[in-house]
Structure 1
């Protein structure tokens, strides 16, 4: 597969402790500089945000993932905070699937 047919994602597990993960992506996923959303998602706040189409769709998909408490979204990065009773192993596949679904490209993890 050519590089443009996939989405490169680098997961930073070191930032912010065990409750936070950064998903750095090689494609713009939102239009705003930085927006913060508490979960469950406040649809009114989302409607008045400036995240754009991809950001909106991504946040809607991630709203269905049990265990996410907050997301900071910027053009090339998602910072996800999880609830302490959930394991990243329980969430990671759903998060990556949501990203794949919205950008319509398979995700390739970068080491």
Structure 2
């Protein structure tokens, strides 16, 4: 095993530990957010934002999607756009139901 590969492994371990620490901090933020007095919709929205960030970290680093080609990036962007559209459909339906729009 050469020194170069050992340094390469150490750099990867450092990145993984940073991602792990970020996930741990975001988990603490999720628990702390559950104690904030928010309405159900706001609490769900906040939880979804935190979960999306955590999921992006896991997909990017642990599933090695961060180094994939641009096609994967575009597919993920389109997926996020459709995700947010689907998340806002119930909101739009609610506003239509109470005749706000």
TM-score, normalising length: structure 1: 0.29
Structure with a larger share of its residues in strand: 1
Q: Based on CA coordinates, which of the two structures has the bigger radius of gyration?
A: 2
Greater fraction of residues in helix: 2
Greater RCO (CA < 8 Å, at least 6 residues apart): 1
Alignment TM-score, normalising by the size of structure 2: 0.31
